[in-house]
């Protein structure tokens, strides 16, 4: 009988706190066989990522393994000295983190980082390592990998950076890969590529994969077996088909019920959207000059490298409706959004808010700040960590002089917190004291504080697990009906777009290739690119 690549036995991870011990992982046991993908699911705080960190020896002090044993191909590794564990990390166990910026050094090109990793673990020359780096980038889905090898991490989109991180994890041909939310920041087509890469890795090299994710669709498409974790414990384990189609535990049933479906055609408007547009985008174009030297840009010399991120894009958004904008990383979705809220100016074209060009005049700018707001993908990055929540939400109210006295400001902040279903006592706390879902509610409250009519939502739920995502989407719908809000929803989760949007536009390489009512576009796409996006969506109903 074949021995497992990794064996975890009765693992306990504890963190000492002022008021006692916090048990993050409580008696977890499982094996992963050669060529097998084990899916690990559960909500934030379930212990999924902490289990992976324990295996690879990356638990932050004062956290520590308080009990249990971990074996890599029969050899115990949890009790190894740090210098021995460093030899295993990267070589025999690879790690793909959720946030690629934590894995990539911003001061070095991705080629330098890949080649260094390859040569540290494999007996290859500089030239051979360079060619292997190019091959790995191509395998992970980076177009023109040889040309991108000398680029820096900041020159890639979020999805592209995640592909680079996956290439790094594969560099030394590890026996085990711990993939912690490897696709949560990726659009569906790239997600499908990464799933394919993980499967091929298992089949061709006999590697084992521990796939940590909150996306049950990815588990359905990728994993052989799965375990469900809650509060540090395994509550259910078995084949993917058994758990998804015949869940036994109430917790698992709730997780599965919270998953949005791309076949869901129900949008629950209490107030029907108007036919009159609140926002018109006319021939919007944005160019970026990527010429290497400052003089090239100033003197506009020949050989300038100009990228058209958005090209002649036109669409309308009806008052009280939700317009979904979809497409792959680098398609121009977020660049469009930033022009609509006034963060970057268009190269040409117009953005009209009820007939007024938002880029004309100082008065227009002041009016725009009140009427147009934005909710970002990462609430922690958009909330000032040094400010209390009350000050974060109150800042637009004070800046726009929407309230008189300090007492009136506090009352409005308390009311906004209640609107997003948080206790007003939260205004005295700092952002780090909240979960991801709670921080996103705070970001929504801040966006509402200026009494806007139009809100751009840039991937507002991509970092949230499915149950919290469902709560935030329900909240956004309720607020839309209460305040007659208009949303531009940017998302790579097409099931969320199907559930939330009335109309949808599909972007590809900066061009709006297709748009119309969401049911029409999703049920009868006319463009091959749209069909490819829809066909790439992982679906739990495909499990056999």
More confident residue, 85 or 204: 85
More confident residue, 428 or 172: 428
Alpha helix ranges (H) inside 321-465:
333-340, 362-371, 379-382, 389-399, 406-419, 436-448
User: Region 179-193: what's the mean pLDDT?
Assistant: 76
In whole numbers, what is the pLDDT of the chain averaged over residues?
87
Cα gap 114→136, rounded to integer Å: 9
Number of other CB atoms surrounding residue 246 within 10 Å: 10
Residue 465: the pLDDT is: 74
Residue 336: the pLDDT is: 92
As given in the structure block, the two tokens for residue 202 are 């298992």
Asked if the model's pLDDT at residue 535 lies above 70, the reply is yes
Cα gap 88→101, rounded to integer Å: 23
- Strands 277-289, 348-353: parallel, antiparallel or unpaired by DSSP? antiparallel
Asked if the model's pLDDT at residue 296 lies above 60, the reply is no
Structural domain boundaries in the chain: 93-173, 277-542
User: Region 64-83: what's the mean pLDDT?
Assistant: 95
H or E segment and range at residue 198: helix 188-205
Asked if the model's pLDDT at residue 543 lies above 70, the reply is no
Q: Which residues pair with 353 in a beta bridge?
A: 279, 356
User: Region 380-392: what's the mean pLDDT?
Assistant: 89
Residue 301: the pLDDT is: 54
User: Region 140-159: what's the mean pLDDT?
Assistant: 84
**pTM of the predicted protein model:** 0.78
Give the closest residue to 46 by CA, choosing from 355, 467, 345.
467
User: Region 374-386: what's the mean pLDDT?
Assistant: 83
Asked if the model's pLDDT at residue 542 lies above 70, the reply is no
Q: Which residues pair with 326 in a beta bridge?
A: 506
Asked if the model's pLDDT at residue 324 lies above 90, the reply is yes
Evaluate the omega torsion of the peptide bond into residue 231 and state whether it is cis, within 30 degrees of 0: no
pLDDT in tens, 217-270: 788 888 999 999 999 999 999 999 999 989 999 999 988 888 877 777 665 566
Residue 234: the pLDDT is: 96
User: Residues of the chain with pLDDT > 90: what percent?
Assistant: 47
pLDDT in tens, 345-357: 999 999 999 888 8
Residue 293: the pLDDT is: 58
pLDDT band at residue 367, thresholds of 50, 70 and 90? low
As given in the structure block, the two tokens for residue 208 are 């084992």
pLDDT band at residue 382, thresholds of 50, 70 and 90? confident
User: Region 431-446: what's the mean pLDDT?
Assistant: 86
As given in the structure block, the two tokens for residue 530 are 């749209």
Cα gap 136→167, rounded to integer Å: 5
Asked if the model's pLDDT at residue 359 lies above 90, the reply is no
Choose the weakest-confidence range: 188-202, 272-286, 402-416: 188-202
Residue 361: the pLDDT is: 66
* Sequential DSSP letters for 146-171: HHHTT--GGGS-HHHHHHHHHHHHHT
Superfamily of domain 277-542: P-loop containing nucleotide triphosphate hydrolases (3.40.50.300)
Asked if the model's pLDDT at residue 362 lies above 70, the reply is no
pLDDT band at residue 300, thresholds of 50, 70 and 90? low
Q: Is 229 helix (H, G, I), strand (E, B) or coil?
A: strand
Cα gap 26→229, rounded to integer Å: 10
Choose the weakest-confidence range: 17-21, 82-86, 192-196, 345-349: 192-196
Alpha carbon distances (Å) from 195 to 52, 163, 240, 466, 543: 19, 12, 15, 19, 15
pLDDT band at residue 544, thresholds of 50, 70 and 90? low
Cα gap 456→446, rounded to integer Å: 13
**What is the separation of C-alpha 287 from the centre of its chain, rounded to a whole number of angstroms?**
26
């Amino acid at each position: 009988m074949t021995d497992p690549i990794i064996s975890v036995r009765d693992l306990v991870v504890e963190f000492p706190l002022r008021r006692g011990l916090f048990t993050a992982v409580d008696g977890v046991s499982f094996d992963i066989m050669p060529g097998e993908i084990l899916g690990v699911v559960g909500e934030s705080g379930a212990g999924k990522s902490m289990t992976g960190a324990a295996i690879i020896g990356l638990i932050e002090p004062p956290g520590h393994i308080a009990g249990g044993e971990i074996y890599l191909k029969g050899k115990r590794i949890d009790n190894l000295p740090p210098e021995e564990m460093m030899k295993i990390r990267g070589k025999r166990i690879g790690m793909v983190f959720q946030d690629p910026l934590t894995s990539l050094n911003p001061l070095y090109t991705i080629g330098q980082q890949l080649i260094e990793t390859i040569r540290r673990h494999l007996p290859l020359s500089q030239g051979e390592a360079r060619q292997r780096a190019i091959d790995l980038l191509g395998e992970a889905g980076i177009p023109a990998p040889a040309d991108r090898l000398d680029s820096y991490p900041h020159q890639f989109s979020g999805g592209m950076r995640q592909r680079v991180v996956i290439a790094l994890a594969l560099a030394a041909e590890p026996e085990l890969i711990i993939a912690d939310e490897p696709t949560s920041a990726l659009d569906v087509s790239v997600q499908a590529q990464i799933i394919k890469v993980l499967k091929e890795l298992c089949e061709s090299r006999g590697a084992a994969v521990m796939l940590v994710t909150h996306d049950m669709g990815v588990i359905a498409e990728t994993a052989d077996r799965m375990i469900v974790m809650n509060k540090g414990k395994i509550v259910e384990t078995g084949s993917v088909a058994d758990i998804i189609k015949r869940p036994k535990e109430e917790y698992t049933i709730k997780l599965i019920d919270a998953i949005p479906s791309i076949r869901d055609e129900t949008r629950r408007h209490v107030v029907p959207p108007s036919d009159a547009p609140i926002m018109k985008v006319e021939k919007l174009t944005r160019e970026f000059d990527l010429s290497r030297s400052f003089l090239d840009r100033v003197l506009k010399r020949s050989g300038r490298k100009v990228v058209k991120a958005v090209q002649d894009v036109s669409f309308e958004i009806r008052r009280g409706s939700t317009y979904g904008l979809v497409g792959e990383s680098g398609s121009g979705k977020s660049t469009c959004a930033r022009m609509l809220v006034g963060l970057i100016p268009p190269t040409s074209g117009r953005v009209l808010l009820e007939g007024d060009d938002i880029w004309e005049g100082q008065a227009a700018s002041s009016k725009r700040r009140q009427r147009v707001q934005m909710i970002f993908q990462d609430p922690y990055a958009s909330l000032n960590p040094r400010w209390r929540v009350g000050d974060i939400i109150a800042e637009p109210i004070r800046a726009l002089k929407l309230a008189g006295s300090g007492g009136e400001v506090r009352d409005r902040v308390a009311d906004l917190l209640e609107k997003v279903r948080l206790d007003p006592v939260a205004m005295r706390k700092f952002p780090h004291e909240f979960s991801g879902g709670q921080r996103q509610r705070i970001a929504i409250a801040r966006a509402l504080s200026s009494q806007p009519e139009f809100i751009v939502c840039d991937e507002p739920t991509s970092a949230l697990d499915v149950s919290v995502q469902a709560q935030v989407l329900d909240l956004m719908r309720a607020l839309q009906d209460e305040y007659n809000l208009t949303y531009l929803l940017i998302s790579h989760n097409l099931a969320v777009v199907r559930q939330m949007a009335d109309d949808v536009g599909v972007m590809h390489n900066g061009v709006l290739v297709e748009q119309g009512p969401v049911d029409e576009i999703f049920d009868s796409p006319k463009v091959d690119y749209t069909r490819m996006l829809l066909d790439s969506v992982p679906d739990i109903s495909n499990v056999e």
